[in-house]
Amino acid sequence: MKFPIQLTGGEDRTSVSALAPDDSFAIVSRDVGGQENPGIYLLDLDGGALKELYRADKVQAFVAFISDDSKHVWYLANDRDPGSYAIYKHDLASGERTAVFTEPGIWRVFDHDGEERLLLAKLLGNTQVEVYELEVATGTLTPILGQGEAEEYAAVYGAKKGTLLVQTNKLGDFHRLYEHKAGKLTAITPEIAHDVSSFSIDDAKKRIYYTVNEDGYERSFALDAKTYKPLKLPKLPAADNVYVGGTSRDGRFVQLGYDGADQPPITITWDWNKKKKVAWRAPSTPEIDVSKFTRASLETYPARDGTKIQMFVWRPEASRCTGPCPVVVEFHGGPEGQSTAGFNPYAQMFVDAGFVFVTPNVRGSEGYGKKWLHSDDAAKRLDVITDIEDAATFIRKEWAKDGVAPKVGVTGGSYGGYSTLMAMTYFAGAYDAGVAEVGMSNLVTFLENTAPYRRILRTSEYGDPEKDRDALVQLSPITHVDKIKAPLLVIQGLNDPRVPAGEAVQIVRELQARKIPGGLILFPDEGHGTGKRANQVLSIGHRIAFFQEHLR
């Protein structure tokens, strides 16, 4: 409950990647200008300048772990091939780095057993993962899970010898947590119609923590790591979400966080030995009365085939509007993302401006089972993209007041930006104004020009540029730009490696040729979305101002 001490400066994205086991230093990751090519640096916890361990132009470097003796930093980098990641060990005393594993592939380190064994993930798509074990001394790579499949896995070493803890939806529609032993998966969490969205085990292998996604609300649980018997977590104040943070190396302490509509995120530390919880900080909300924040309601609208689509809705007081309040619908990114409940100052800004704010979870969103998640893969997207138009149709009909339908705007970033562009072109007339941020306007050029590592991961989602080309063209907003009727603003970061700036430029040129109101806001020092505070203010401010002009 003291004021935090700031250790890093500057405006570029900086985050802690790992804390040394002996607490002598941290390893931080820093990206420049949103290019998503972070370098890794050593940060002395007493302060001072960062010490660069590895950084190279157009190369991504990610920390895997710090050795138990705090002498080595293990990391991955795509310095040999932009579409492949090698594993390196950096000796802090000598500065020498050693290439440990260089087999081609998009690799990640799930877990490690000292410095002798690594549990590796090979990503074949955003939801297609293979699991391997690497014997470091011999370089032997042993397949464990997922080979020859198209399934999603996450795994760590378990507390019992010869076991893994595995999160997967292979054996059902929803993710569950399993023990993997001798090639067999045995469920250790209940069978429910909700996903186990995340899990962890402390370094001491005493307790397992997992979080369940209940229709956009997070609930957290604990298990004994050896018996898998449920453990009781401390009672917390009523909240939309309860989630698990870090654990101490001996397993005694765990961080738990919670938040709600009018409750900014709070973190407490739970002491398993003393059964005592302690808050380490209080949230700061200067000049803001969060008690007046609007609580989102979980509602549904019907798709044209009768499928119910969940959406969170924030409403201003009716007195704020003469007639029906204008509505802004925001589609999430991903497309495997999910709109959730909880503390949401961004949504509150729209409410304060007099808008009803709506965040649907259309088909293809995560959190509703495997069938729902994969319902928009490749050419199947043609069958469910109509969820975008159906949201506007429902709102105009059901939220009309005295026979007057509300005006409806649409916005979103990344895949949500793509959804916005489709709403304004493919479904022209469904929405009265749109603001698209870092969205794809042409799925063919997007797949051709996105970063190599992204192209590999996104083909399974959007389709193969050769085999599925007809569907990609039909599903591209640029194909339907002649239909556009309403004002459209496009926001883009110049350094975006995921959705290159050309996606924004090509559709804005078409809008200008047709004299469609709107235009382009281009941030030269940003990538996939705005990271710098000043740019965030501009992006959100222009978005709200645009809707105020065209919807109110």
Could you report the per-residue pLDDT of 205-255, keeping only the tens digit for each? 999 999 999 999 999 999 999 999 999 999 999 999 999 999 999 999 999
pLDDT score recorded for residue 501? 97
423 token code pair: 């709403």
Could you report the per-residue pLDDT of 466-485, keeping only the tens digit for each? 899 999 999 999 999 999 99
Planar angle of CA 526, 531, 533, nearest 5 degrees: 115
Sequence-ordered alpha helix ranges (H) in 295-369: 345-352
What is the layout of strands, in order, in the sheet containing 117-125? 107-113, 117-125, 128-135, 140-145
Q: Is the pLDDT of residue 11 over 90?
A: no
CA distance 263 to 247: 23
Provide the pLDDT confidence category of residue 322 given band limits of 50, 70 and 90: confident
CA distance 349 to 330: 13
Residue 474 contacts residue 438 (beta carbons within 8 Å): no
pLDDT score recorded for residue 254? 98
Q: Which residue has the tokens 């085939």?
A: 305
pLDDT score recorded for residue 318? 80
Q: Which residue has the tokens 């499949």?
A: 149
DSSP state string for 172-224: SSS-EEEEEETTEEEE-S---SSEEEEEEE-TTS-EEEEEEEETTEEEEEEEE
Q: Is the pLDDT of residue 505 over 90?
A: yes
Mean pLDDT, range 152-173, rounded to an integer: 97
154, 160, 163, 166 alpha-carbon torsion, rounded to 10°: -20
CA distance 157 to 529: 35
Residue 370 contacts residue 454 (beta carbons within 8 Å): no
CA distance 43 to 265: 26
DSSP H or E stretch at residue 93: none
CA distance 207 to 200: 9
Look at residues 213, 232, 214, 212 and name the one whose alpha carbon lies nearest to residue 222.
232
Planar angle of CA 545, 353, 313, nearest 5 degrees: 115
Cβ neighbours of 537 (radius 10 Å): 11
CA distance 130 to 135: 17
Q: Is the pLDDT of residue 110 over 90?
A: yes
Residue type, 248: S
Contacts of 537 (CB under 8 A, 6+ apart): none
Tell which CATH classification among 3.40.50.300, 3.20.20.70, 3.40.50.1820, 3.40.50.720 matches the domain 294-551: 3.40.50.1820
User: pLDDT > 70: what percent of the chain?
Assistant: 100
Residue 326 contacts residue 356 (beta carbons within 8 Å): yes
Contacts of 435 (CB under 8 A, 6+ apart): 409, 410, 411, 420, 488, 489, 490, 491, 542, 543, 546, 547
Provide the pLDDT confidence category of residue 462 given band limits of 50, 70 and 90: very high
Residue 78 contacts residue 38 (beta carbons within 8 Å): no
Q: Mapping DSSP to helix (H, G, I), strand (E, B) and coil, where does residue 21 land?
A: coil
pLDDT score recorded for residue 226? 97
Mean pLDDT, range 271-278, rounded to an integer: 97
Paired strand residues for 519: 489
pTM of structure: 0.96
Provide the pLDDT confidence category of residue 3 given band limits of 50, 70 and 90: confident
Cβ neighbours of 281 (radius 10 Å): 13
Tell me where in the chain the CATH 2.130.10.120 domain(s) lie: 158-293
pLDDT score recorded for residue 416? 98
Mean pLDDT, range 165-172, rounded to an integer: 97
Could you report the per-residue pLDDT of 31-44, keeping only the tens digit for each? 999 999 999 999 99
Look at residues 366, 318, 3, 456 and name the one whose alpha carbon lies nearest to residue 173.
366
Tell which CATH classification among 3.80.10.10, 2.30.130.10, 2.120.10.30, 3.40.50.11540 matches the domain 1-104: 2.120.10.30
Provide the pLDDT confidence category of residue 440 given band limits of 50, 70 and 90: very high
Q: Greater confidence, 451 or 177? A: 177
> Top-level CATH class of 158-293?
mainly beta
Peptide bond into 487 cis (omega under 30): no
Look at residues 509, 539, 512 and name the one whose alpha carbon lies nearest to residue 413.
539
Tell me where in the chain the CATH 2.120.10.30 domain(s) lie: 1-104
Could you report the per-residue pLDDT of 533-547, keeping only the tens digit for each? 999 999 999 999 999
Provide the pLDDT confidence category of residue 4 given band limits of 50, 70 and 90: confident
374-383: long-range contacts at Cβ-Cβ below 8 A with a sequence spacing of 24 or more? 374/127, 376/335, 377/460, 377/461, 377/463, 378/460, 378/461, 378/462, 378/463, 378/464, 378/468, 378/471, 379/463, 379/468, 379/471, 381/462, 381/471, 381/475, 382/471, 382/474, 382/475
Provide the pLDDT confidence category of residue 456 given band limits of 50, 70 and 90: confident
Mean pLDDT, range 136-164, rounded to an integer: 97
Residue 428 contacts residue 388 (beta carbons within 8 Å): no
Look at residues 75, 112, 107 and name the one whose alpha carbon lies nearest to residue 91.
75
Tell me where in the chain the CATH 3.40.50.1820 domain(s) lie: 294-551
pLDDT score recorded for residue 323? 87
H helices, E strands: number in the chain: 10, 32
pLDDT score recorded for residue 457? 85
Q: Is the pLDDT of residue 460 over 90?
A: no
Provide the pLDDT confidence category of residue 352 given band limits of 50, 70 and 90: very high
Q: Output the average pLDDT for the chain.
A: 96
